Amino acid sequence: MPVTVGNVLTWDPDLDDETLAQAGRAASLPFIAGHVALMPDAHVGLGCAVGAVIPTTGAIIPAAVGVDIGCGMIAVETTLTASDLPDDMSGLLSRIERVVPAGVGRGHQRHRSQGSALRTLPRTELTDKQMDRAVSQMGSLGSGNHFVEICLDPGDTVWVVLHSGSRGIGNQLARRHIDTAKGLMKEYATTLPGGDTDLAYLTEGTPEFETYLADLLWAQDYARQNREAMMNAVLGELGTVAGGLKERRRINCHHNYTARERHSGKTIWVTRKGAIRAEKGDAGVIPGSMGTNTFIVRGLGNPESFNSSAHGAGRRMSRTRAKRELSAETLREKMGGRAWLADRADRLVDEHPDAYKDIDQVIRFQADLAAIEVELHQVLNYKGT
């Protein structure tokens, strides 16, 4: 159940003061439609906390959507079982690495797949270099907490789970509009809560808003199709190794995005910055971290959260702090028994499970937001370094 602090509802009873204060500043903006809801994985972010649901009327905060527009999860339940997997998963890991480029700036050397997102263009005109990047990075993973995992459910059914977003082009479009919003705030001498320029907003009905919205929707579509392209490539490699497979179901959901929705009889903008839509019956994917489990959930449609739930474990340490306090040796211990990039452990310390909140606690705290349908245990993890 949520705790109310001013104009903020939080589902984390142990939430730190800095994250709560950041959400409170966003919640004090005059166009907030009710309250800001903080999911149990909330932590400090840019402008507003990650794990925040921000309802607005007549304006959108570009930095609240974030620079990885449309980032989200895709999961596929297959017809395979654990017995269909090879005893040594290292070969499958290598195959996945070959078909899904990962890491900062990485893409396909040969433009393997454009996807229908590239049959249309954003409102903002792309340079030749940006267009080339958008094409080459379609079907690529990126870095940070983006990953591909092979998982098993309690019945030993094989699942593939993947986390990624709109890559370099989404980042560039987002930063352009964040800068535009900041420029407008300066031009009109607009005072923002706490002087935080990352709360700069675009007002509905203006050309700047309309251009941002068009680019936002395009980048969200790009991100969704990027996940589809990677999932299809991974399933192809898995099917080759296992002698064929079929899909039982596929779930693809954003957790960094804005959508027009109806709540309490009003049509508003809902920005989910590190949160998934959890309307009653919605299927969702909530991962933990390296070495921890992932949950397939069904939304419960809680109006207090604007029909939302957590998107993952949420960080409890910054990347800098994780690199300083955690080690490759303890990461190897946490990842015992899994196929992963163990030879690059020193470059993955900032993704150490101890840098994240306890995913089991996150799931417990949001029992009124989403119900657990399946709990997955990873047997293979692939990340960019």
Radius of gyration, alpha carbons of the chain: 20
Give me the CATH code for the 3-316+356-383 domain, please.
3.90.1860.10
Residue 306 has pLDDT above 80, yes or no: yes
Residue whose token pair is 């005893």: 87
pLDDT at 107 exceeding the cut of 60: yes
Q: Which tens digits make up the pLDDT trace of 229-284? A: 999 999 999 999 999 999 999 999 999 999 999 999 999 999 999 999 999 999 99
pLDDT at 59: 98
pLDDT of residue 111: 53
Helices of type H across the chain: 17-27, 62-65, 90-99, 128-137, 167-187, 207-242, 319-325, 328-334, 359-365
The tokens 């809560």 sit on which residue? 193
Q: Quick check: is 111 catalytic?
A: no
Catalytic residue among 163, 311, 352, 377: 311
pLDDT, tens digit (0-9, with 9 covering 90-100), for 198-211: 999 999 999 999 99
Q: Which of these, 334, 219, 270, 247, lies nearest to 64 by C-alpha position?
A: 270
Cβ-Cβ contacts under 8 Å for 154 (sequence gap 6 or more): 374, 375
- Pick the closest to residue 44 from 77, 8, 13, 20 (CA basis): 20
Which pLDDT belongs to residue 276? Answer: 98
DSSP 15: -
Concatenate the DSSP letters of all residues of 286-330 into one string: E---TTS-EEEEEE---GGGTSEEE-S--BSS-HHHHHHH--HHH
Query: How many angstroms separate the CA atoms of 31 and 300, rounded?
Result: 27
pLDDT for residue 110: 58
What is the predicted pLDDT for the residue at 12? Answer: 96
| Residue 46 pLDDT class (50, 70, 90 cuts) | confident
Structure tokens, 37: 């809801």
At 337-366, the pLDDT tens digits run 999 999 999 999 999 999 999 999 999 999
Q: Where does the pLDDT of residue 109 fall: very low under 50, low under 70, confident under 90, or very high at 90 and above?
A: confident
Domain ranges of the chain: 3-316+356-383
pLDDT of residue 117: 52
In this prediction, residue 72 carries a pLDDT of 98
Question: Residue 116 pLDDT > 70, yes or no?
Answer: no
